[in-house]
Amino acid sequence: MANAGKPDWSGCPTRYAAGIVGDKWCFLLLRDVLLHDKRTYRAFLASPEGISTNILANRLSKLEALGMFTREPDPRKASSVCYFPTQKAKDFLPALLSMMVWATRYDEVTEAPPSFAESFKEDPDGTIAWYEAKMDRVDQALRSS
Amino acid sequence: MANAGKPDWSGCPTRYAAGIVGDKWCFLLLRDVLLHDKRTYRAFLASPEGISTNILANRLSKLEALGMFTREPDPRKASSVCYFPTQKAKDFLPALLSMMVWATRYDEVTEAPPSFAESFKEDPDGTIAWYEAKMDRVDQALRSS
DNA sequence: TAACTACACTTGCATATTGCAAGCGCCTTG
DNA sequence: CAAGGCGCTTGCAATATGCAAGTGTAGTTA
């Protein structure tokens, strides 16, 4: 695996973050959960980057082990499964948005509208709160269905 | 290689960031340059995570190709080499600090003092400026020696 | 000036991780 | 009770990594 799950990658904050987010698939799964409201295996699998199913299974259990996701039965269909972000994952949102601002600036063919970076710069807390509220709505709706 | 260097990993800001920082070694090299004032091959090699020399060479050229680092002769010894951060790399600092705040919160054995997260939260721009100024001092001193 | 050293990589090779395609067991649905 | 969807698991070839050793080029020393 992409090592760095736990042992001795603690201590230094950057190294700790690198141990989780320094893997493109974990990084993208975090995006899917925090920004794109994806909660199921199928949904993750359908992301345009094309993760393969063995890697997806591996990363989902890694993220669960790291306390980023919880694995729960799907309220809509008991045979199915949902992955929900924990508080630890939700708290990663500001860092994710910061990286998106940076990427928006340097990716020549970015699909992000300029308004995104502007609104984050003008009111970071408000932007974060907006995404958090959206996430909470999604999760509450899903859980109580 | 960890793929995702350029082709079709543009567009989505998260994917663009994942293509660069979604690799633990690139991530840690960025830390070494932005935070720990490292500028030489030897210095990178000496980081406690123990990158191997072929991977280091590979990532340095990747980061150079991505416009994050510039490769220049060492002013102190012409036969030696320095890697300097570009503006693109320097602009990644806010995102890096955000991730460190997150890591500091969730890594049970973090070595970062609580004051770090606090000062960033109280005055993010000031904290960023402080690290930028430090970097600029380092680079200016090195370049004019 | 010939040997020595430091530096920035390369190379070879064993091992680990990935990507792809197929398969499996468990519901649910018709 | 046959068919299909879902969440994985398995096998295998291709790729990337880690480790140790080697290479080429400048300076430095004797």
One-letter amino acid identity for A5?
Answer: G
pLDDT of the residue at B145? 86
Residue A142, number of CB atoms within 10 A of its CB: 17
Residue predicted with more confidence, A120 or B145: A120
> With pLDDT > 90 as the criterion, what percentage of chain A qualifies?
92
Q: Tell me: the pLDDT tens digits for B22-40?
A: 999 999 999 999 999 999 9
Q: B4–A24: do the CB atoms touch at under 8 Å?
A: yes
pLDDT of the residue at B72? 97
Tell me which residue in B10, B25, B98 faces A94 most closely, judged by beta carbons.
Answer: B98
H or E segment and range at residue A83: strand A77-85
- Cβ-based burial of B66 (10 A; exposed 0-12, middle 13-18, buried ≥19): middle
Domains of chain B: 13-143 (1.10.10.10)
pLDDT of the residue at A138? 97
Cα–Cα nearest to B39, from B141, B136, B129, B139: B139
Q: Which residues on chain A are in Cβ contact (under 8 Å) with B22?
A: 21-28
* Entry field: residues in chain B: 145
d(CA A72, CA A80): 9
pLDDT of the residue at B141? 96
Q: Which residues contact B19 (CB under 8 A, 6 or more apart)?
A: A24, B3, B4, B5, B6, B9, B10
B92 touches strand D (CB under 7 A): no
Residue B70 has which token pair?
Answer: 């510039």
Asked whether B43 and B32 are in contact (CB, 8 A), the reply is yes
Report A:24-53 residues touching B (Cβ under 8 A): 24-28, 31, 35, 48-49
pLDDT of the residue at A5? 47
Q: Tell me: the pLDDT tens digits for A6-57?
A: 457 999 999 999 999 999 999 999 999 999 999 999 999 999 999 999 999 9
Q: A96–B27: do the CB atoms touch at under 8 Å?
A: no
Whether the per-residue pLDDT at A139 is higher than 90: the answer is yes
In the structure, how far is the CA atom of residue B19 from the C1' atom of nucleotide D24, in angstroms? 33
Asked whether B101 and B121 are in contact (CB, 8 A), the reply is yes
In the structure, how far is the CA atom of residue B8 from the C1' atom of nucleotide D18, in angstroms? 29
List, for chain B, all residue ranges whose pLDDT scores fall below the cut of 70.
1-7
Q: What mean pLDDT comes out for the span A113-120?
A: 94
